[in-house]
Structure 1
Amino acid sequence: MTLSTSVHSMTDAQVRKATRRVGGLFFGGTLVMLSLERKLHATGGPGIIGFELAGSRDRATSIMKRWGPKGIAAARASLWLDFGYMATYGVFAALLSERADRRFGRRRSGVTLFPWAQIACAVAVAADAREGVALLNVLRGHDQEAQAVSARRAALTKFVLLLTVLLYWASSYSRSEGRRFP
């Protein structure tokens, strides 16, 4: 049974409960990631997102110099932990999009649309994984120009997809009671 099949067979209450539980894991992971983010900022350099978006060897090298050994160690830890963190936000976002589908009435009416939002979540997580590998390569000094460019592209892909999913979820709250979007 696939995740999509199992989620579609869940009741609304079960989806809400799963969303709360995975959301708790996501927020717990966020606290850990924020503690590493504070360590990066304490070095006088940017946070991990600045590094993700560096986009060139020169910018990445400049950031690593500002971080120094302590910042690089924190960045490395953040990148390794991100592989688990991305699973939590990916499932959480997919569950939020399932809840949006249900709010829009697309499950109760029997209409099953192409699960674009859930697929977008999976692609965002895959992009984040690619970004993480690329940034670890930058930290190792391996093909830094190509890896920094790849990390930036992957990060932008991840951010756009997640933003789109979150906007879809948020829009499911904007409809008037009793009125359904076409």
Structure 2
Amino acid sequence: MLVLERGMRKTGGPGIIPFELAGNAERAQEILTAWGEQGRHWARWSLWLDFGYMLTYGTLALLLIERVRSRRGDPIALRLVPICAVAGDAVEGVALLKVLDGVNLDRNARHARAAALAKFVLLAVGLVYTVVGGVRPRS
């Protein structure tokens, strides 16, 4: 993924995370223009590879949360945290691929940003739960 990130940045544009968080047609178009064809190529590869990466980090997060959850006897619904994060990442990826294709930039940039923010929040919640729950026994 670092090679793809460097490819995007070599064009003078940002990496993939600012693209994920663009949030509107104007900012998305600025990024697409800065990237040009070469940067868009790198971004497209990054997004497609991210679909495989989602399964990896989603599975790892689910296993870590499940380990803490089962030891503490916490609700089974906690399993939804990484599942929803991966779902948000998938929505984000599809929306960004549409932005790269020039399809309804404003709507897809907004959807991508909302999904990315949800993903980041859910992953942070899962990480905090795993660290805190793994260190401190249930009272």
Measured against the shorter chain, the TM-score band is over 0.9
Aligned length: 139
Q: Quick one: distance in 2 between partners of 1:38 and 1:91? A: 27
Q: Which has the higher helix share?
A: 2
Q: Is the 8 A contact 2:69 2:78 kept in 1?
A: no
Q: Which amino acid aligns with 1:143?
A: N
For structure 2, the 5+ residue unaligned runs are: none
- TM-score between the two structures when normalised by the length of structure 1: 0.72
Which residue of 37, 41, 45 corresponds with 1:77?
45
- TM-score between the two structures when normalised by the length of structure 2: 0.93
Q: Quick one: distance in 2 between partners of 1:54 and 1:167? A: 26
Larger radius of gyration: 1
Which residue of 54, 61, 65 corresponds with 1:93?
61
Which residue of 118, 122, 129 corresponds with 1:161?
122
Percent identity of equivalent pairs? 51
Q: Which amino acid aligns with 1:45?
A: G
- Name segments (4+ residues, structure 1) moved above 4 Å: none
The Cα shift of 1:173 comes to 4.1
Which residue of 114, 129, 134 corresponds with 2:75?
114
Q: Quick one: distance in 2 between partners of 1:41 and 1:173? A: 38
Question: Mean Cα displacement is larger for which, 33-42 or 131-140?
Answer: 33-42
Cα root mean square deviation, aligned: 1.3
Q: Quick one: distance in 2 between partners of 1:88 and 1:69? A: 29
For structure 1, the 5+ residue unaligned runs are: 1-32
